[in-house]
Structure 1
């Protein structure tokens, strides 16, 4: 089987040992030359890998050698190349965040899971939310708010009591984090083409950070979020254990 694969590992003993064993067992190349990246770790490594190879048209096949493995397959050394050949492909697109900070600088980042704003101090955040140029929430007093992709809807979004989105649905979740006023607002489900603008009210008194997956910018004044339609990454999952099935199963977990 002439699939060019490369093994990368998380920074833990279990992942590093697995990488050494697999490299002895299967022919491999460098990540730059590979068609498929085999990521050994948990969901944290998977997110890092998606960001690292987002512009290189490589498929990502994860095997769980970390603490969480929602985005990975189960770990097994037998028949690895055969598993990859039979794997189901899921194409995912990230969110694009543009943030303006109080110093006047602009910042950009991608997020495969979510973009969220979070208060920096004991003061609650005051936020104004616009969708496609129309103000839909003139003042939200809260710890923060997040925009999640279907992939990210089972992560921080779910912990904040946001909706789980089917993986192939053309939707985004907009979810408040510990909303104080209006207390009963539970968020919104948006079409994937929606353009979300979040403005910070009283940024001097109530500083707010913005995070896109693992990239953080502090003291933001305004954040724009929309799906990036120009880039995508392909993830590979074993048959019967694809990402759509996992997201569906999460809705019946109690």
Structure 2
């Protein structure tokens, strides 16, 4: 009888421990701001220009991340452009801060001006800017400084914000190489343990020539479905290092 009681007690303890081990509190919602130009906005009616935002949401959904994309904009370049569901009966989250044709300074300024419409600060900022600045000069001034000001602004709203700065998707542009150096230096300057700033190397393994059999773009710049998925995977690989988010 004593042995039976002991077994029952041990079983109860094991069940209790299993319940503690298996119970997981709901994931903290991850607020994601996608900031960029046309490569972020997308939405041309004559092609599947869904941008990386669609496959990234599919990944987050499959990984059971509790996420919300935030931003002041919902539409693509053309108002009648549509996005498919990310899963059965799960709609694509259209919120973003992407501006077709915008330079870095303009997009950063608009994101700061739009902040009050977000209702909450971002936990992640996915930045992909500089494509439209390649014909300019002094990349530190026209790319680096606006990015620095934008990051400082959002750190005031959320001191723990994580900033992922995507490198331009070009392997044959001297201007893109120079911008890449500016962005790398800026990340090294601003990166902190509390608010990481890291770079995402989208250009690696990238085929920008649309005539290439393994092309990643429609037109040298805008990612096709293959390129969109590549970008999403790159973002996710770097995002997941910081998930789940720590409670403040």
Query: Which range, TM-score by smaller chain?
Result: under 0.3
Which structure's CA Rg is the greater one?
Answer: 2
Greater fraction of residues in strand: 1
TM (normalized to structure 2)? Answer: 0.27
TM (normalized to structure 1)? Answer: 0.26
